[in-house]
Structure 1
């Protein structure tokens, strides 16, 4: 009988101690976890990078714009406020849960080499286009092998998703967040989770994402293809690109 009483008493004391400890724990911020996930690095703060960075900041993201000369980005960062900052490409890869690359395509081999470790398992939103007059021999490689496959080659280890390359930045500026039907943005990638991240980023920027397929399918909306340069709704774009509903 005494052992039963002792056991019950011990349980009660344990519960009281646990409750007291719980009451003394500091309260956590209500949205701390969701806020920390909304970070993106942008390598290249030109027309497309600057446009999308503005849209993501408007949607509540923290954005690190990266350049080899980050001091030159001070006017942009000052304009966009406390959610914007400037840094190097290496800092952008460390900062963002995903990284948008929006630089001339000929820079991809250097970016991949300089950031080899940081690229591993990183979600990379690849917005670049290869232009022969500007990018030289790598444009021939893109024409031969396909742009999605070529990007994956020069960004080894990254979970690459092609997105935001199928229209001029002015089209994105004009149509972001318009009333339904929203403008559709085609995306392609091999990694399902990376595609989900890209879908969220496209949607938060004010567009409807349309998954076209794996990276090889990015050729269907590459610059110069029949799927490039369209301002269409999601159903219209799916029909244009032959994507099954």
Structure 2
């Protein structure tokens, strides 16, 4: 089971040369990049909230939509590190990606983005809701949501993250005083888990690595680790992890 030390010094992926521009894009970042760029696929409440936290923390962030012009207010609120583009541009832009779309959209997303996802660290924040996502949600329940997401996004270095708390809670609890709120993670790639943990910390939370993707159902919607606004030590206890 991949593990990291959550109390170790933060490690941030850096771009060679410091600055980053996306050729042919809809503008450039207002300041040099000092932290890894992140693409957001699904720039609704959850994706918009987490992406804004990263932009405020210094990450270049590209919020994406099939209609990027509709993201103007979000980009302005997120500040000078943010910009808008299409999902394909988000994949090209991001060293890591956050996917926050309805779970039923994942199969088509994987088909649309195809080989461009290969090798990308993908934080999957999507929840399978049977009433909304139908057969895709039932498949996730049968196979396990981690393995199912990985199958829909082949080639990606997938980590389940940011699916347990709503956008409002995340916005209110980020960088809170005292012990930070824990965010559970699951993944099969140790390097991707480390990168995801660094992004969780930069957003103002504490990562708790639950285990491989096979453990992702432990904090899926309705499971014991879902919806818990608690520090890392308490979440470890809830999930039966070593303290």
Quickly name the TM-score band, shorter chain normalised: 0.7 to 0.9
Q: Per the alignment, in what secondary structure is the counterpart of residue 136 of structure 1?
A: helix
Q: For 1:98, which of 72, 96, 99 is the aligned residue?
A: 96
Q: CA RMSD in A?
A: 1.6
Distance across 2 between alignment mates of 1:202 and 1:124: 13
Distance across 1 between alignment mates of 2:139 and 2:80: 41
For 1:120, the equivalent position in structure 2 comes to: 118
Asked whether 1:166 is paired with 2:164, we answer yes
Q: TM-score if structure 1 supplies the norm length?
A: 0.85
- Equivalent residues in 2 for 1:1-245, closer than 5 Å: 32=18, 35=33, 37-245=35-243
Does the CA contact (< 8 Å) of 1:37 and 1:97 recur in 2?
no
Deviation, structure 1 residue 136:
1.2
Deviation, structure 1 residue 82:
2.2
Q: Per the alignment, in what secondary structure is the counterpart of residue 33 of structure 2?
A: helix
Q: Comparing 169-178 with 210-219, which one deviates more in the overlay?
A: 169-178
Name segments (4+ residues, structure 1) moved above 3 Å: 33-37
Does the CA contact (< 8 Å) of 2:68 and 2:86 recur in 1?
yes
Unaligned runs of 5+ in 2: 1-16, 20-31
Q: Per the alignment, in what secondary structure is the counterpart of residue 144 of structure 1?
A: helix
Distance across 2 between alignment mates of 1:180 and 1:195: 24
Deviation, structure 1 residue 76:
1.4
Does the CA contact (< 8 Å) of 1:210 and 1:234 recur in 2?
yes
Q: Per the alignment, in what secondary structure is the counterpart of residue 116 of structure 1?
A: helix
Q: TM-score if structure 2 supplies the norm length?
A: 0.86
Deviation, structure 1 residue 79:
2.7
Q: Normalized per residue, which structure has more helix?
A: 1
Larger Rg: 1
Unaligned runs of 5+ in 1: 1-30
Q: Deviations over 1:37-83 (max 9, x none)?
A: 42100001111101101110110011000111111111211232321
Deviation, structure 1 residue 244:
1.5
Deviation, structure 1 residue 36:
5.2
Q: Per the alignment, in what secondary structure is the counterpart of residue 132 of structure 2?
A: helix
Distance across 1 between alignment mates of 2:35 and 2:73: 26
Distance across 2 between alignment mates of 1:136 and 1:86: 31
